[in-house]
Amino acid sequence: MGYKLKFENFDKILKELSKENKIYAPKRFPKQGRYSDTDVIRYDKIKELKEIVFDEKSTYAAKEVYQPITETILYFTDGDYKEKKVVDDRPIIIFARACDIHAIQRFDDIYLKNGFEDFYYKRLRDKVKFVLIECPKDGWDTCFCASMGTNKTDDYIFGVKVAGEDVCIELKDEQFAKYFEGEEKIDFNVTFVEQNPRKVRIPDIQSTEIKNKIKTLDMWKEYDKRCLMCGSCTVACSTCTCFTTYDVNYTSDTDAGERRRIAASCHVDGYSDMAGGHSFRKTAGERMRFKVMHKIHDHKSRFKNHNMCVGCGRCDDRCPVFISFSTTVNRLADEVEKLKGEEE
Ligand code: SF4
Ligand code: SF4
């Protein structure tokens, strides 16, 4: 079932939806980009269609809605603690692209299916529904969703495409049909990306011997010279889930304060520090290897479902020294083929 609406009618629907839901979408923040006079596009609450950026990929991922970069999780005082309450408990609707919708499954793996359920994640995640935003025909230049199998999804309540002065809707969840009553009915289905110009070959790594040899490949050493270990790629990544915690004491002479968690990055110093001063993966190359293997092998091997990477390409977009994750994966695929050839 599809509908065609004028912008003002869609805004009325957004207004109705907002009475019972919090609505988030990619929004432009002028002149807040990395370089002077550049913008940033990130997720925020929206009220009107014109606030949503449809024609550019967002700088940051939809994950920031259900896993904020920083959040207070509990308050402590006098040896006791209290979890932070969610003040606005309404369901959450997120306008997102197919890759970002797939990304939440990777978060579910880590936060819900990894031997425990993360309380703070679950209480937000249980409220999330998606509105699918149609992508340009081939995505953007750094996208490789088709290689990762994340170019299509059916996990959305309705799909949306802006066509000139109209908004086309593909209704998926009949519970939301009431919002479109009286609107012009049309035949419309969201078109998914079928292929991207950028193709990524995921190496097939079965043997432990090959896995061990990957650790010593010379290709990782190149990143020792290039990678700044800044973590920009992981902050923007749709599927990087790591966080660390720190406590903020309100005054120096009481024990009252709050515990916050904040996004962490395997590229950044301190990530793997242990009690006693030991730390793993000191060089940029070792950290690059760890991230790449995690994204295209280790997660899938652990959870027996899908690779962690969804091919959004934000890591390539954000790296200040133009290190390309997708190129790195293709290089690794070549190296793995060579190693397999040596084994035969
Ligand atoms: S590794 Fe890069 S392409 Fe893959 S999900 Fe993260 S940001 Fe997107
Ligand atoms: S790959 Fe690029 S963005 Fe990522 S840590 Fe290295 S320099 Fe920073």
Domain boundaries, the chain: 2-68+85-186, 208-242+265-343
Q: What is the pLDDT of residue 87?
A: 85
Ligand 2 pocket check for 323: Cβ under 6 Å: yes
User: What would the pLDDT profile of 267-317 be if each residue is shown by its tens digit?
Assistant: 999 999 999 989 999 999 999 999 999 999 999 999 999 999 999 999 999
Q: What is the pLDDT of residue 284?
A: 97
Question: What's 195-235 look like in SS3?
Answer: CCCCCCCCCCCCCHHHHHHHHCCCHHHHHHHHCCCCCHHHH
Protein residue with least CA distance to atom 6, ligand 1: 237
Residues 6+ apart with CB under 8 A from 113: 303
Tell me which H or E stretch contains 166.
strand 166-171
Tokens at 205, concatenated: 């790594």
Q: What is the pLDDT of residue 1?
A: 80
Q: How far apart are CA 68 and CA 124, in angstroms?
A: 10
Q: For the residues 161-169, what does the mean pLDDT come to? A: 96
User: What would the pLDDT profile of 194-209 be if each residue is shown by its tens digit?
Assistant: 999 999 999 999 999 9
Ligand nearest to the CA of 306: 1
Query: What is the number of alpha carbons within 13 Å of residue 146 lying toward its C-beta?
Result: 15
Helix (H, G, I), strand (E, B) or coil at 169: strand
CA angle (143 as vertex; 140, 144 as ends), nearest 5? 140
Tokens at 103, concatenated: 């990304």
Q: How far apart are CA 94 and CA 92, in angstroms?
A: 6
Protein residue with least CA distance to atom 2, ligand 1: 315
Residues 6+ apart with CB under 8 A from 267: 227, 229, 230, 231, 233, 234, 284, 287, 288, 291
Tell me which H or E stretch contains 170.
strand 166-171
Beta bridge partners of 28: 41
**E strand map for 13-96:** 22-29, 40-45, 70-77, 80-83, 92-96
Q: What is the pLDDT of residue 342?
A: 86
- Pairing outcome for strands 70-77 and 2-6: unpaired
Q: What is the pLDDT of residue 78?
A: 87
User: What would the pLDDT profile of 67-77 be if each residue is shown by its tens digit?
Assistant: 999 999 999 99
20 CB-contact burial (10 Å; exposed 0-12 / middle 13-18 / buried 19+): exposed
Q: How far apart are CA 68 and CA 243, in angstroms?
A: 10
Judge whether residue 344 has pLDDT over 90: no
Judge whether residue 81 has pLDDT over 90: yes
Kindly write down the DSSP assignment for every residue of 110-126, as one continuous string. Answer: HHHSSSS--HHHHHHHT
Q: For the residues 42-59, what does the mean pLDDT come to? A: 97
**Ligand 1 atom nearest to CA at 144:** 3
Judge whether residue 97 has pLDDT over 80: yes
Binning pLDDT at 50, 70 and 90, where does residue 178 land?
A: very high
Kindly write down the DSSP assignment for every residue of 290-340, as one continuous string. Answer: HHHHIIIIIHHHHHSS--S-----HHHHH-TT---HHHHHHHHHHHHHHHH
Ligand 2 pocket check for 319: Cβ under 6 Å: yes
Q: What is the pLDDT of residue 253?
A: 81
Q: For the residues 157-174, what does the mean pLDDT come to? A: 97
Among 218, 224, 240, which residue's Cα sits nearest to residue 323? 224
Instruction: Choose the weakest-confidence range: 27-31, 58-62, 98-102, 268-272.
Output: 268-272
User: What would the pLDDT profile of 207-253 be if each residue is shown by its tens digit?
Assistant: 999 999 999 999 999 999 999 999 999 999 999 999 999 999 998 88
Largest CA distance in the chain: 68
User: What would the pLDDT profile of 102-147 be if each residue is shown by its tens digit?
Assistant: 999 999 999 999 999 999 999 999 999 999 999 999 999 999 999 9
CA Rg value for the chain: 22
**CB burial string 26-62: b at 16+ within 10 A, e below:** bbbeeeeeeeeeeeebbbeebeebeebbbeebbbbbb
Judge whether residue 343 has pLDDT over 80: no
**Ligand 1 atom nearest to CA at 103:** 5
Tokens at 94, concatenated: 């997120």
321 Cα–ligand 2 center, Å: 7
Average pLDDT, the chain: 96
160 backbone dihedrals φ, ψ, rounded to 5°: -135, 140
Q: How far apart are CA 217 and CA 277, in angstroms?
A: 27
> Which one of 234, 312, 330 would you pick to mutate in the ligand 1 pocket, going by the greatest count of ligand atoms within 8 A of its CB?
312
Compute the CA torsion angle 60, 147, 56, 241 (nearest 10 deg).
Answer: -10
Q: Residue 74: how many CB atoms within 10 A of its CB?
A: 17
> Which one of 142, 226, 227, 317 would you pick to mutate in the ligand 2 pocket, going by the greatest count of ligand atoms within 8 A of its CB?
227
Ligand 1 pocket check for 52: Cβ under 6 Å: no
Ligand 2 pocket check for 177: Cβ under 6 Å: no
